[in-house]
Amino acid sequence: MENQITIREAVTEDDVANFLEQLHLYQKRDIFPGHDNKELEYFLGSEYHEHMMKIHSRSQNRCFFLFFHRNEQDIGFAMPIIFTTDDGKCFIMEFCVFPEFRGNGTGRKCARVLLDWAKEHGALYAELNYGGDKWQQHFWESVGFIENGADEWGESLMILPPVENIPITVEILADPEDWQLKKLENGFKKDIGEELLTEEKKKQLQQAIKEGKVTFFIAKRGCRSIGMCSVVKHFSTFACTDTGVFEDFYVEPVFRKKGIARMLAQAVQSWSREQGLASLTVCCAPCDEQMYQSLGFDDPLGKTYAKII
């Protein structure tokens, strides 16, 4: 059908070579327009090429090299990974409409065709980085994506919300090096306007968890971590026993207003009683007081003051 956009996968050796050539042109033209950019050198180098070919050829959760095709010619490409063995996420690594075909809604049409293709191949929802670029944000919002925190490296994320009802569970974090904890921490810090995790701070956080200085509770939707909170124990000379401080309270924006915050708070409060803690306290901004009171933190202890050292 004339003007219909379809998807064809790069399968042959020539097709794959053509795809990678277009990917490099896109990276130089649209992502890293400066020729002296060190990040560009990585994406054009052998290490990145070998990495992409490895995940392209693996048997499960592989990366697809796809062309958008219209009127017997390629007009763009996409590079999605579908995690069929996890929670069905389609992560869109790259998406490009060639410059000469941009305009008249072609990008949105390609995006919708890609999302339909992903669903046919087992995807239950989609996610991508948009790098904080406002144009990209507006574009993906136009096809249904919502801004949703940050990844483990601090890059802004958008998600096309899943519609399936999957049970939510809360568990104590078992792996101090869990990449999803870093993702949630960066989403939390981005949400409250704090600096994102540096590599040094990631190591310090991991060490604190290993040493038992902090206990994290994770809300999970299947295998995806979507919320968290933490408790730090302190010995109180007033109570002459341990007390707890409740911190790191965060639920990814797209999963809010579903009772997950209450599930986390109740899990922490139950655990604190089992641990014999005399109290569990939280410091919060005035705008959050009503929320915390509704979650059971309803004993006022006066105002808290701090000296930042």
Q: Is residue 140 part of a domain?
A: no
Looking at per-residue pLDDT, the higher value among 39 and 275 belongs to: 275
Same domain, 98 and 179: no
Are 279 and 289 contacting, i.e. CB atoms less than 8 angstroms apart? no
Q: Is residue 163 part of a domain?
A: no
Q: Is residue 63 part of a domain?
A: yes
**79 pLDDT more than 80:** yes
Same domain, 10 and 101: yes
The pLDDT of 226-245, averaged and rounded, is 92
**Separation of alpha carbons 90 and 94, rounded Å:** 12
Same domain, 41 and 115: yes
Same domain, 113 and 191: no
Are 159 and 141 contacting, i.e. CB atoms less than 8 angstroms apart? no
Q: Is residue 35 part of a domain?
A: yes
Q: Which residue has the tokens 């130089």?
A: 28
Q: Is residue 98 part of a domain?
A: yes
**Separation of alpha carbons 273 and 258, rounded Å:** 25
Can you give the pLDDT at residue 238? 86
Same domain, 172 and 99: no
Show the tokens assigned to 286. 């005035």
**Separation of alpha carbons 145 and 128, rounded Å:** 9
218-230 pLDDT, tens per residue? 999 999 999 999 9
Show the tokens assigned to 180. 């999803």
CATH code for position 257: 3.40.630.30
Q: Is residue 309 part of a domain?
A: no
Give the end of a domain, one of 96, 123, 150: 123
Can you give the pLDDT at residue 45? 85
Same domain, 111 and 209: no
For residue 265, what are the domain limits?
A: 168-294
**127 pLDDT more than 70:** yes
Nearest to 88 by CA among 143, 179, 6, 164: 164
Q: Look up residue 117 and give its amino acid.
A: W
Q: Which of 54-58, 82-86, 215-219, 298-302 has the lowest mean pLDDT?
A: 298-302
Looking at per-residue pLDDT, the higher value among 19 and 132 belongs to: 19
Same domain, 113 and 12: yes
Confidence band (pLDDT; 50, 70, 90) for 80? very high
Looking at per-residue pLDDT, the higher value among 3 and 233 belongs to: 233
Domain count, the chain: 2
Same domain, 173 and 264: yes
15-54 pLDDT, tens per residue? 999 999 999 999 988 888 876 677 788 888 888 889 889 9
Show the tokens assigned to 108. 């949105």
Q: Is residue 44 part of a domain?
A: yes
Are 65 and 58 contacting, i.e. CB atoms less than 8 angstroms apart? no
